[in-house]
């Protein structure tokens, strides 16, 4: 029982009380309550579904009950499409689900101790008085997504709402030499990122437990924050992105005043390389905010291979193009002839001086005309004339109707 002197209620709202609980108004002072306090409820309108600070994630229900929470990048701090969403049993809430999409997909939602895994049943609850008060916004929460059936993990599915999620995050300042930006995170971090390529035999949950039991239980790594998930990274060819490929991203953050992330990254990579066949791992490397890397030789080799492949492809394209031109399948655009270029340079501007170039013994020397009287008899004045298309030349060696051209 709760004794109160006064209560000011909003226009719309509800109390959720435990079984047998209640309250009563008492105008006088209750000796059993002491001096009393003024209590103010929090502003429930400010609670947003896509605010990662409002959620706590765990690998199992037991971990959730015991407080063994997971650290993850910001996108995965918000419920993913394969997750079970649990609101505390003895709590009241009101959450705004608005986003850029009309639907928010999850596996199931638990409210007041009841779990909804069927969309029909959950839709009925959302139409109830409590459901309307608890969930509001432009996006509808839908349940019924299947759980993640891929042992190597599943993509969270929150990348489309990355900007919305990051709008609630205030990034702290970093002081490391080369801050890192993990995939799915909103802020640059100081620490290390381990990248793992895997085969079909890799199991993300088992590997997460392995890393915890081998390394995170050690006293020197006690303050480390480690998040592990499957992400899709862009593949590049000659610095041009062309595809994405899945890999396991392990984000390692140092505790305050600590610098053990690089040491832990080395331990993880060495263990992955030593036990690769048993773990289903094909490659592992890392980068740190100090600038060190655990896979530089592999990266350089990959760059060399990329350059060599690029050169080979260019040579192949040139050879194929040459073959197609030779077969007549492809025609190259005609290049301007040398005589056309020479003529256009000779003409210059109309009315300007005419550059004669070199002497033509058949055309420029009058003394040669008597030797070919039939070609020049009475037609010297027509050898150069102006037309609408430009300057017209007549070659005296050929018939005018067969070989004259314009420039």
Compute the C-alpha angle 289/294/295, nearest 5°.
115
How far is 363 from 369, CA to CA, in rounded Å? 8
Q: pTM for this one?
A: 0.66
| CB atoms inside a 10 Å sphere around CB 291 | 9
Specify the pLDDT at position 356.
53
Structural domains present in the chain: 56-154+389-397 (no CATH), 174-288 (3.30.70)
| CB atoms inside a 10 Å sphere around CB 165 | 25
Neighbour-count burial for 12-47, b at 16+ CB within 10 Å, e otherwise: eeeeeeeeeeeeeeeeeeeeeeeeeeeeeeeebeee
Specify the pLDDT at position 194.
96
Give the phi and the psi of residue 64 in degrees, each rounded to 5: -65, -40
Nearest CA to 15 out of 30, 26, 4 is that of 4
Query: Is the distance from CB of 283 to CB of 248 less than 8 angstroms?
Result: no
Q: How far is CA 317 from CA 261, 283, 321, in A?
A: 47, 33, 6
pLDDT, one tens digit per residue, over 279-338 is 999 999 999 988 776 664 444 444 545 566 667 788 888 887 777 777 776 666 665 555
Specify the pLDDT at position 302.
47
Specify the pLDDT at position 34.
72
Regions in the chain scoring below 70 on pLDDT:
30-31, 33, 235-243, 293-310, 329-407
Q: Is 135 exposed, middle or buried (0-12, 13-18, 19+ CB in 10 A)?
A: buried
Cα Rg of the chain (Å, integer): 40
How far is 83 from 147, CA to CA, in rounded Å? 7
């Amino acid at each position: 029982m709760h004794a109160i002197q006064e209560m000011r209620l909003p226009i719309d709202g509800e109390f959720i009380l435990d079984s047998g609980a209640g309250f009563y108004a008492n105008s006088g002072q209750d000796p059993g309550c002491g001096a009393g306090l003024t209590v103010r409820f929090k502003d429930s309108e400010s609670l947003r579904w896509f605010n990662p600070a409002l959620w706590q994630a765990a690998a199992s229900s037991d971990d959730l009950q015991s407080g063994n929470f997971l650290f993850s990048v910001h996108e995965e701090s918000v419920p993913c499409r394969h997750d079970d969403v649990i609101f505390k049993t003895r709590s009241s809430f009101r959450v705004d689900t608005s986003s850029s999409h009309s639907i928010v997909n999850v596996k199931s939602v638990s409210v007041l101790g009841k779990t909804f895994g069927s969309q029909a049943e959950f839709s009925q609850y959302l139409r109830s008085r409590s459901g309307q008060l608890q969930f509001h916004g432009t996006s509808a929460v839908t349940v019924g997504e299947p759980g993640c059936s891929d042992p190597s993990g599943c993509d969270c599915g929150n990348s489309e709402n990355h900007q919305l999620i990051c709008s609630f995050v205030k990034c702290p300042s970093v002081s490391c030499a080369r801050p890192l930006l993990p995939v799915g995170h909103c802020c640059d971090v100081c620490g290390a990122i381990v990248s793992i390529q895997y085969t079909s035999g890799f199991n993300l949950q088992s590997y997460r437990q392995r890393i915890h039991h081998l390394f995170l239980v050690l006293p020197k790594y006690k303050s480390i924050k480690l998040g592990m998930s499957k992400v899709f990274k862009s593949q590049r060819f000659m610095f041009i992105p062309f595809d994405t490929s899945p890999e396991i991203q392990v984000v390692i953050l140092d505790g305050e005043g600590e610098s053990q992330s690089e040491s832990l990254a080395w331990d993880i990579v060495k263990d992955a390389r030593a036990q690769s066949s048993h773990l289903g791992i094909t490659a592992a490397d890392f980068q740190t905010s100090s600038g060190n890397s655990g896979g530089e030789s592999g990266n350089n080799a990959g760059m060399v291979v990329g350059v060599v492949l690029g050169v080979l492809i260019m040579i192949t394209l040139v050879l194929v193009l040459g073959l197609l031109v030779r077969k007549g399948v492809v025609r190259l655009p005609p290049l301007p002839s040398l005589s056309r270029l020479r003529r256009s340079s000779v003409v210059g501007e109309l009315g300007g001086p005419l550059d004669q170039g070199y002497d033509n013994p058949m055309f420029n020397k009058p003394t040669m005309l008597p030797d070919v009287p039939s070609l020049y008899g009475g037609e010297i004045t027509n050898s150069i004339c102006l037309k609408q298309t430009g300057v017209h030349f007549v070659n005296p060696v050929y018939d005018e109707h067969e070989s004259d051209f314009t420039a």
